[in-house]
Amino acid sequence: MTPVHQPPTLPAAVDRATGSPTMQEAILRLQEFWASRGALVMQPFNTEVGAGTANPATSLRVLGPEPWQVAYVEPSVRPDDARYGENPNRLQTHTQYQVILKPAPDNPQEIYLESLEALGIDTRAHDIRFIEDNWASPALGAWGLGWEVWLDGLEITQFTYFQQAGGLVLDPIAVEITYGLERILMALENVRHFSQIQYNDTVTYGEVFAQAEYEMSRYYLDDADVELNHRLFQLYADEAQRMLDRSLPVPAYSYVLKCSHTFNVLDARGAISTTERARSFGLMRRLTRAVSELWVARREELGFPLGQWTPPAPATAAALPEVTGAQPLLIEIGVEELPHVDVRRATESVRAAVEEQLAATSLEHGAVAVKATPRRIVVTVEDVAQAEADTTLTVRGPRATAAYGDDGEPTKALLGFLRGQGKTPEDVTRVDADGVEYVAVERFVPGRTSPSIVAGLADAAVRSLHAERNMRWGDPELSYSRPVRWLVVLLGTTHVPVAVSALVSGTSTRVLRSADEPVVEVSDARGFGELLAGAGIVLDRDERRQRVVSAATELAASVGGTVDVDGESDLVDEITDIVEDPRAILGSFEQRFLDLPPQILRTVMRKHQRYLPVVGDDGRMLPHFITFANGPHDTDLVRAGNESVIRARYEDAAFFWRADLEVSPEEFRSRLGALTFEERLGSFDDRVNRIADLAQTFTAAYGLDDKDAETVRRAAALGKFDLASQMVVELSSLAGTMAQEYAVRAGESPAVAQALAEMEMPRSSASGEPRSVPGAVLSLADRFDLLTSMYAVGSVPTGTSDPFGVRRTALGLVRVLRGFPMLSAVSVRDGVRAAADRLARQGIETGAEVQEAAVDFVRQRYEQQLSEAGHLHSVVRAVLPAADRPARADELVAVLSESLAEEGARSIVAALQRSMRILPAGVAVEEGGSLPDTAEPAERELESIVVAIEEAMAGHEGDVERLFSVGGALPAAAERFFDEIRVMHDDPAVKASRLGLLARVAALGGREVDWLAL
């Protein structure tokens, strides 16, 4: 908080882009545009809302069957975005422009792009992209799929197909388009702080709003009375419920909105306790759902005054054409921009569908290829025969004896059969089946023509599309990751009419939206690849990826740098699947930002922008990045745009960096109580306290030296403090990283800082692990607490659901334990038990069975790791008894894997196994005293060998490696024993003595290895 409000120091003025609209011009242009498209132009809501979505003109109107097209400005209040007007990009009230199109039209993206043109944006010169970004508000029982729209890398719009709202499934689906006006205007006007936007020709945004930004920030962050707002929240909720009881959804909803805003105020003040947050969300969710149901009921009572939408009927395809000769097949399924993961997934599912269909026919055909970009899945099949071969079917009729009467005339049975087959008595032949004679006729079955088969193929291909999250868009039957918008089916030059639900095939494809002619006629299946290539579209994924890699490498080299293609391979994959026509652009940013920790710079590039960092010879970052536009554009313009975006993001980061540095780690740490971890498990404060106690317990168990112990203690005391920092709130993947950076700058020792970072490691299967012992100790304490507490509250990972990352946690636990053999003093079981004991102090009980399940879950992860590392299954199974201490198990794996390559060791193992197999399972074998006098020489020899080995192993019992080195005499002695001696002697004493000897042999193997598994 700034004690006395002074306007922030603004960045140096830059030349305002000429001809760009002012804020109010932009709004007017949008109002006019959407009015011209038939939308109702309405007003912002008259109580505070966090987004245009909350305005009942969206949230209630998307419900039910009434059509509704609306557009309006919505000043959206986000108390926790309050920054006193100082942050260049963040405001407590920002201005959304909200559009709802219900039912969703067939071409909402195209209409949207026209609106950008209306705003004065040249959509061909700029790089405009639809990047996957889904939306869900569990608190509102609402979700939808869609995109963030990028203008030269800048997110300017949220574009969502609403699927559900107020807990109700939407029908029809509504498209929501939400423009972020300040961002758009900053980009159009080329200014660096929102205050510098021209609001109109004479006044800037800051001149109009800066004081309110400051004062409302003060209110939200510092001055709002907490007790009073708590009371308001409850009063609003009460009134909402009362209005629901009286069947008045409109006033009820306005009070739900007031609840929500008040909650946000309290949250920004850091005044929402754990239990209150959960309770409040539940309350608001229930109220919203009740409002929604009531609203729909009231609309129905009123007879749906705005009419009722009826979904389109499935289409009927035209008659199939005739095709002559073998022809190449082209099926193109056109979609709105797919999420990158769906490009590969769609390729596979369509390929499978096509192959399955083809396999079920006898149609001859050549090579099948399936390729995809974010906007199309293209199937090509070479040389598709004109038709299947014709076949003749023999159709069996009645028994011959029943086919003709005594007079030799056809019986009624035969005549009926013939009538059914369209045959005459002259056509009758006879067949024998299992020795019985039947009459029969032969029927000619012509092969299906290729159009008929292809139609089925296309149908199956479209219907095979299925993503992890699917949506509807207005088609009566289809659902998919994004809407399917067109279908091209050609056999050579012949269009094959196909109707899949309401989707009807045609002969038009769509190329880049920015093309002169975005819709192109396809006259021939041949050369379709060339047609796309001519439009700049690289259909082949490998080729696209190669282009991305080579262009990036080349551009990086132009500034003396490189791109870490392997290290960034996930990102390269993603880039490959979000463009059809990758055009690399080298951008730069100001040198000064290199003062920020490189992790910040990389994270911002990667997460927000999909930019590839450029690295110099010394491995340090260069002030450059590489981005990829989709298709041709004005490179300078797009570069400048992207440079502005990264600058703004780095400004943000630098702002957070500076702001965070003004807060001590202790202060941050003290704020963790306000951050809920999990409803039953409490806040992050609770969690870090548990971790610290566990770390203490483990420190004692490990017997760490004083220095390490102190490092653990201190780091644990500050644990996860950076979760309260602005940087981590913004970029959660920097948790730990920022703790280290901030701790060092706050004067903590490097060891403590490192431990704070390592506590969060490993983040994922591919990322780094702790290197220091204190870091490892904290990492373990962290993971034991998470694992055990999740089992304690039943939040166990299932097939696809693992919200708290328990699987990842267990894998991490194993990795750390494997990486730090010196920390084997605490086994997995020990760790879980210690964590359970600590949870019990917080009143959370974890039963023995539950603990065991957690331990077992870790064991399975370890087993999985070993398997994935290529170890022999037998070896893996053999070491599982030691899996409770994975580092130890690792040693066993190494020894076993190495030793078993040698004959000697294998023989020892065989001897052990043979001994063990004879020993009765589950029966306690008296461990032998010495042999009786009646013992035979083979017994005596084996005993002496065993005694010698036991002596050699003394103090190293169970040490497999030693066993292999000192046990060389065992196999021969054992072999002689088994050859000469009948263990199961009739005399129980003799038998016991012999079993006892074998038990001593078996005991040489120790308890850590399941020798029989080998």
Residues binding its own copies (CB under 8 A): 4-7, 24-25, 27-28, 31-32, 35, 38-49, 73, 75, 77, 95, 199-203, 206-208, 210-212, 215-216, 218-219, 223-225, 228, 231-232, 235, 238-239, 242-243, 246, 248-251, 298-299, 301-302, 305-306
- Give 12-74 as a 3 state SS string: CCCCCCCCCCCHHHHHHHHHHHHHHCCCEEECCCCCCCCCHHHCHHHHCCCCCCCCEEEEEEE
The residue among 226 and 445 lying less far from its own copies, judged by its C-beta, is 226
Least distance (Å) between residue 300 CB and its own copies: 12
Looking at the Cβ atoms of 221 and 381, the one nearer to its own copies is 221
Nearer to its own copies, 229 or 676 (CB): 229
Please tell me the distance from the alpha carbon of residue 502 to that of residue 432, in angstroms, as a whole number: 50
Q: Which residues pair with 161 in a beta bridge?
A: 145, 175
Tally of helices (H runs) and strands (E runs) in the chain: 34, 25
According to DSSP, the residues that pair with 506 across neighbouring strands are 488
Q: 954 exposed, middle or buried (CB, 10 Å; 0-12, 13-18, 19+)?
A: exposed
Q: Which is nearer to its own copies, 16 or 906 (CB)?
A: 16
- Which DSSP string corresponds to 382-432? EEE-SBPPPEEEEEEEEEHHHHB-TTSPBPHHHHHHHHHHT--GGG-EEEE
CB 233, min distance to its own copies, A: 11
Closest distance between its own copies and the C-beta of residue 220, in Å? 9
- Cα–Cα distance, 53 to 60 (Å, whole number): 9
Residue 722, token pair as written in the block: 């950076």
The amino acid occupying position 46 is N
The least distance separating its own copies from the CB of residue 203, rounded to whole angstroms, comes to: 6
274: its two tokens: 């754990």
Q: How far is the CB of 82 from its own copies (least distance, A)?
A: 11
Give least dist CB 34 to its own copies, A.
10
- Nearer to its own copies (CB atom), residue 243 or residue 290: 243
Please report how close the Cβ of residue 588 comes to its own copies at its closest, in angstroms. 34
Cβ nearer to its own copies, comparing 249 with 774: 249
Nearest to 484 by CA among 467, 328, 112, 103: 467
Cβ 637 to its own copies, closest distance in Å?
28
In the complex, least distance from residue 459 CB atom to its own copies, rounded to whole angstroms: 37
* Closest CB 258 distance from its own copies, rounded Å: 9
Task: Name the residue nearer to its own copies (CB basis): 49 or 757.
Answer: 49
Query: Cβ 17 to its own copies, closest distance in Å?
Result: 20
Nearest to 770 by CA among 818, 833, 828: 818
Helix or strand (DSSP H, E) at 831: helix 828-841
Least CB distance to its own copies at residue 285 (A): 22
Query: Which CB atom, from 60 or from 354, has the smaller least distance to its own copies?
Result: 60
Give CA–CA dist 552/625, Å, rounded: 9
Residue among 207 and 543 whose Cβ is closer to its own copies: 207
Which CB, 40 or 640, lies closer to its own copies?
40
**Residue closer to its own copies, measured from CB, 54 or 571:** 54
Tokens of 805: 């990352």
Residue 166 and residue 288: Cα distance in Å, rounded?
Answer: 6
The least distance separating its own copies from the CB of residue 834, rounded to whole angstroms, comes to 48
Query: Which residue shows structure tokens 């071969």?
Result: 389
Bond into 172 cis (ω within 30): yes
Non-local CB neighbours of 986 within 8 Å, separated by 6+ positions: none
Sign of CA dihedral 749, 751, 757, 759: negative
Distance of CA 578 to the CA centre of its chain: 16
Least distance in angstroms from the C-beta of 25 to its own copies: 7
Reading the block at residue 162, the tokens are 């609403």
- Quick one: CA torsion of 334, 339, 344, 345, rounded to 10 degrees? -90
CB-wise, 232 or 823, nearer to its own copies? Answer: 232
311 DSSP 8-state letter: P
CA pair distance 584, 554, nearest whole angstrom = 10
Could you say which DSSP state residue 595 is in? G
Phi, psi of 652 (to 5 degrees): -55, -50
What 3 state SS string does 489-514 have?
A: EEECCEECCCEECCEECECEEECCCC
Nearer to its own copies, 46 or 798 (CB): 46
Query: CA–CA separation, 402 vs 437, rounded Å?
Result: 10
* 29 versus 608: smaller Cβ distance to its own copies: 29
Long-range contacts of 698-702 (CB under 8 A, 24+ apart): 698/777, 698/780, 698/781, 698/823, 698/826, 698/831, 698/834, 699/777, 701/825, 701/826, 701/830, 702/777, 702/822, 702/823, 702/825, 702/826
Cβ proximity to its own copies: between 5 and 906 the closer is 5
In whole angstroms, give the CA distance from residue 96 to residue 114.
Answer: 18
Residue 119 beta carbon to its own copies: minimum distance, rounded to whole angstroms: 16
CB of 246 to its own copies, least distance (A): 5
Place of tokens 């911002």: 604
Q: Looking up tokens 């020709």, which residue turns up?
A: 201
In the complex, what is the shortest distance from the CB of residue 681 to its own copies, in angstroms, rounded to a whole number?
Answer: 34
Kindly tell me which of 37 and 448 has the beta carbon lying closer to its own copies.
37
CA 338 – CA 374 distance, rounded (Å):
5
Nearer to its own copies, 55 or 789 (CB): 55
A 10 A CB-CB count for 371 gives: 22
Whichever of 250 and 947 has its CB closer to its own copies, that residue is: 250
- Nearest alpha-carbon partner for 351 in 366, 364, 368: 368
Q: Do residues 625 and 589 lie in contact, with contact meaning Cβ atoms separated by under 8 Å? A: yes
Contact 691, 652 (CB under 8 A): no
Q: Tell me how far, at minimum, the Cβ of 239 lies from its own copies, in Å.
A: 6
What is the distance, to the nearest Å, from the Cα of residue 812 to the centroid of all Cα atoms in its chain? 19
Cα Rg of the chain, angstroms: 37
